[in-house]
């Protein structure tokens, strides 16, 4: 016969297991590093959460470089200091107001969470500190509101570099054909792959690191791609990303998987003259989490592009396509709850086996 103290011990042990299992499932074991899922280069910003004016931390120099890159911090010497000075506070206030966050001027948790998300390399604000021109909605244009000439409403594109990308050439071409079609469906523009590559209006290539345009890539996650305003036509993607061109990105093995079509639709908006939107549901919103698919134009995107090129006579309104999602996958939710980390593959089954074994022993005892 079990003693009352023994029963109490078992109850306490079982309760502890129920509490610890979800914690273990959502964290790496000490010293664990998954080489197949490298971290976002901006994840270190989490260590600076809570910093405010007057603090002095070495990592704040990287925050200043980030805010300078995306247009919030005016031109300063390249050797940024770790001081949380007035300039950094002003830059954070501008960033927070642009994305409708709490304007604290500090590195609060909501600000850091947005800053670490993978994003487009195009600046949100003109580098000289002048605000990007806003339309009637929350969409924006490049300075001067550049567009393709009205006389050229059929644009051609070609691929300049796809080496090192795991996806097949046919899969990549299919992705971009769909991405361009999403914009042609709502405007007077049409697109096709160029029969003569040298005559193409738009050039698309995957490149790594410094690739000669003054906007170097930073490896896995971080900046994913960038495109230049019309009529430049250059569209560059980071070759280091784990691009998913076929299948469900949410089911990808890598935690850093990025949906190619989602990024392509966004960057084509830049090629046509749109800047970034502050509507989170918009294609032209600058960030997208890994493991997420987001390919459908929002009303803000449609209003912005139609203000530049007019409306496709056949367009009758927006309709969401099946399989599109702007919500983080379960894997990404796990990462969000513990500072960007997710349980490595194999941990959940191991924990489940432990629970079953303990439960069985309790029944037998």
91 and 106: one domain? yes
Residue 11 has pLDDT above 60, yes or no: no
47 and 182: one domain? no
**Is residue 28 marked as binding?**
no
Question: Is residue 289 assigned to a domain?
Answer: yes
Domain that holds residue 109: 43-115
Question: Is residue 259 assigned to a domain?
Answer: yes
Average pLDDT in the chain: 81
200 and 271: one domain? yes
**Is residue 226 marked as binding?**
yes
Q: Decide: residue 32, CB within 10 A, 0-12 exposed, 13-18 middle, 19+ buried.
A: exposed
Point out the residues that are catalytic: 267
**Is residue 284 marked as binding?**
yes
What's the pLDDT band for 38 if we cut at 50, 70, 90? low
**Is residue 68 marked as binding?**
no
**Nearest alpha carbon to residue 40 among 60, 66, 22:** 66
215 and 86: one domain? no
**Is residue 108 marked as binding?**
no
Question: Is residue 348 assigned to a domain?
Answer: yes
311 and 356: one domain? no
Residue with the larger pLDDT of the pair 297 and 5: 297
Question: Is residue 35 assigned to a domain?
Answer: no
**Is residue 52 marked as binding?**
no
**Is residue 35 marked as binding?**
no
271 and 355: one domain? no
Question: Is residue 57 assigned to a domain?
Answer: yes
User: Which tens digits make up the pLDDT trace of 226-273?
Assistant: 999 999 999 999 999 999 999 999 999 999 999 999 999 999 999 999
70 and 164: one domain? no
Q: What is the CATH number of the domain that holds 98?
A: 1.10.101.10
Cβ contacts of residue 111 below 8 Å, gap of 6+? 92, 95, 96, 101, 102, 104
What's the pTM?
0.79
Question: Is residue 141 assigned to a domain?
Answer: no
**How many domains, in total, are found in the chain?**
3
168 and 73: one domain? no
15 and 81: one domain? no
12 and 80: one domain? no
Question: Is residue 140 assigned to a domain?
Answer: no
347 and 332: one domain? no
DSSP string covering 141-157: B-TT-----TT--EEEE
Average pLDDT (67-76) is 88
Question: Is residue 360 assigned to a domain?
Answer: yes
Counting residues of the chain whose pLDDT is more than 70, the rounded percentage is 73
**Is residue 199 marked as binding?**
no
286 and 216: one domain? yes
Peptide bond connecting 108 to the previous residue in cis, omega within 30 degrees of 0: no
Query: Which of 115, 130, 163 finishes a domain?
Result: 115
H helices present in 166-259, as ranges: 169-184
């Amino acid at each position: 016969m079990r003693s009352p103290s023994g029963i109490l011990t078992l109850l306490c042990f079982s309760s502890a297991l129920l509490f610890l299992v979800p914690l273990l499932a959502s964290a790496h074991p000490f010293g664990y590093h998954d080489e197949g899922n490298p971290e976002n280069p901006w994840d270190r910003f989490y260590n600076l959460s809570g910093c405010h004016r007057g603090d002095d931390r070495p990592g704040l120099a990287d925050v200043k470089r980030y805010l300078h890159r995306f247009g919030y911090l005016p031109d300063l010497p390249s050797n940024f200091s770790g001081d949380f000075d007035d300039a950094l506070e002003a830059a954070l206030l501008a960033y927070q107001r642009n994305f409708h966050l709490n304007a604290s001027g500090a590195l609060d948790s909501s600000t850091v969470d947005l800053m670490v998300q993978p994003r487009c390399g195009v600046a949100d604000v003109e580098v000289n500190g002048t605000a990007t021109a806003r339309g009637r909605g929350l969409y924006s244009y490049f300075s001067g509101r550049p567009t393709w000439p009205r006389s050229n409403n059929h644009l051609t594109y070609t691929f300049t570099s796809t080496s090192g990308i795991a996806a097949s050439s046919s899969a990549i071409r299919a992705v971009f054909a769909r991405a361009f079609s999403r914009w042609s469906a709502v405007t007077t523009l049409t697109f096709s792959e160029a029969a003569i590559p040298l005559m193409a209006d738009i050039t698309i290539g995957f490149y790594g690191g410094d690739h000669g345009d003054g906007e170097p890539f930073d490896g896995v996650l971080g900046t994913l791609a960038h495109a230049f305003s019309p009529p430049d036509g250059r569209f560059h993607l980071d070759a280091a990303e784990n691009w998913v061109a076929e299948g469900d990105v949410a089911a990808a093995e890598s935690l850093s998987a990025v949906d190619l079509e989602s990024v392509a639709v966004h960057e084509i908006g830049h090629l046509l003259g749109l800047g970034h939107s502050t509507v989170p549901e918009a294609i032209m919103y600058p960030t997208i989490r890994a493991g997420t698919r987001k390919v459908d134009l929002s009303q803000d995107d449609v209003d912005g592009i139609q203000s530049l090129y007019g409306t496709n006579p056949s367009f009758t309104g927006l309709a969401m396509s099946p399989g599109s999602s702007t919500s983080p996958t379960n894997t990404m939710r796990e990462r969000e709850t513990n500072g960007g980390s997710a349980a490595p593959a194999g941990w959940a089954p191991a924990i489940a086996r432990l629970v079953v074994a303990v439960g069985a022993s309790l029944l037998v005892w």
